[in-house]
Amino acid sequence: MKPIPVKKIEVSIVIPTYNHASLLGEALESVFAQTYQDFEIIVVDDDSTDDTAGVLRPLVEQGLIRYIHQQKQGVSTARNRGIAEANGRYIAFLDSDDLFEPAKLDIQVKYLQDHPEAGLVQSGFTKFDNSGQDLGYRDTSWFSGRIYPQILLYWTTLMAVDTVLVSKTVFDAIGLFDTTLSMGEDLDLWRRIAREYPFGFINKSLARVRVHAGNTSGDKLRATQGLLMYLEKAFKDDPGLSRQFRKRAFSRLFSTMAYNLLSENGGEALQAARLNARRAIVNDPGNWHGYMAYLSTLFGNNLRHALIRRWRSLRALLMSRNRST
């Protein structure tokens, strides 16, 4: 008697989590509500100290999710564990405090089926806060087609990991998240995929990304060094990229980090913004963002914050106009 073949799952959804017991239910509900239902859910608990295991136990007992506990090793190790355990043809990621839109998997699975040459497909996303207030659409359409090595120059409105669907064979070809990086592990993965494959893009919000009040200036102060490690690795991997291109990439990074720090209060953040602006100018005197960021550090807090709010409102309006309905 021939054994009955096991049905192949199309999508594995990897959800890393750490101390988000109060938010996990909402994240999982957004998965259960998908119009496309051929998926498995793998929750990798990075040694939570809250009641994550207890919250998930009924779902595990019902066979609705697979639960994996690991000693605390960080989100990239958790995602890699999920990928290794996945049975699906495609891999999706969902942070445990974020949400999928109902048609996310339906639209993206069809895209990859129709475009097997694509390394991944991603989409725009919507930010929201803990009160549920919509903070606007983010247009990531730049990340479409063949974008290497220009991906190393682009730092504006980056892709969200929740919006991505990747063929599992891509990980076999280019590897997993680099756990040696302290920041930018997702950027490093997208960079490596872009080097080998084109990207697909869906101009809709297919995920909702939560903005926490706990996002601190300390995180922004540490970001520059972490992202420098990412760029250094990228140029080590591809030494054929020109010195001029390298300096442009570092300049773009420094000017972006300067801009990010301008909205923070305190002398340390302002000094770091000024330093990053100067580094941007030194690496590429033609990068006008470096000059604008440096000039902005000379304004008082009230004027600087007012200008930043005005710019963000204008950017959100422009993105909303470019969005597909």
Take residue 276 and report the two structure tokens written for it.
């990053």
- Determine whether 113 is exposed, middle or buried from the number of CB atoms within 10 Å of its CB (0-12, 13-18, 19+): exposed
Q: Is 86 in the same domain as 230?
A: no
Residue 42 domain flag: yes
| pLDDT, average across residues 180-187 | 95
Residue 22 domain flag: yes
Report the number of distinct structural domains present in the chain.
Answer: 2
Q: Helix (H) and strand (E) counts for the chain? A: 11, 9
- List C-alpha distances in Å: 148 to 2, 144, 151: 48, 10, 5
Residue 2 domain flag: no
pLDDT tens, residue by residue, 121-146: 999 999 999 888 898 999 999 999 99
Q: Is 24 in the same domain as 107?
A: yes
Q: Which domain holds residue 108?
A: 11-211
Give the up-direction half-sphere exposure of residue 145: CA atoms within 13 A in the CB hemisphere: 3
Q: Is 273 in the same domain as 224?
A: yes
Quote the mean pLDDT of the chain.
91
| pLDDT, average across residues 147-156 | 96
Give the end of a domain, one of 187, 211, 235.
211
Take residue 24 and report the two structure tokens written for it.
């996990």
* 313 Cβ contact list (under 8 Å, min separation 6): none
Rounded to whole angstroms, the Cα distance separating 156 from 318 reads: 14
pLDDT tens, residue by residue, 226-249: 999 999 999 999 999 999 999 999
Take residue 80 and report the two structure tokens written for it.
């890699």
Find the farthest-apart pair of alpha carbons in the chain and give their distance in angstroms, rounded.
80
Give the end of a domain, one of 211, 226, 241.
211
- Check which CATH number belongs to the domain holding 101 and give it: 3.90.550.10
Residue 61 domain flag: yes
Does the CA dihedral 254-259-260-265 come out positive or negative?
Answer: positive
Rounded to whole angstroms, the Cα distance separating 132 from 82 reads: 29
Asked whether 45 and 28 are in contact (CB, 8 A), the reply is: no
Task: State if pTM tops 0.75.
Answer: yes
Encode 190-201 in three state secondary structure.
HHHHHHHCCEEE
pLDDT tens, residue by residue, 189-199: 999 999 999 99
Rounded to whole angstroms, the Cα distance separating 325 from 319 reads: 12
Rounded to whole angstroms, the Cα distance separating 120 from 202 reads: 11
Q: Is 290 in the same domain as 192?
A: no
Closest CA to 292 of 321, 323, 251, 324: 251
Q: Is 153 in the same domain as 35?
A: yes
Range name among 84-98, 280-294, 295-309 with the lowest pLDDT average: 295-309
Q: Confidence band (pLDDT; 50, 70, 90) for 217?
A: very low
* 131 Cβ contact list (under 8 Å, min separation 6): none
The rounded percent of the chain whose pLDDT value lies above 70 is: 88
Tell me the pairing of strands 39-45 and 90-93: unpaired
Give the end of a domain, one of 211, 228, 251.
211
Asked whether 201 and 122 are in contact (CB, 8 A), the reply is: yes
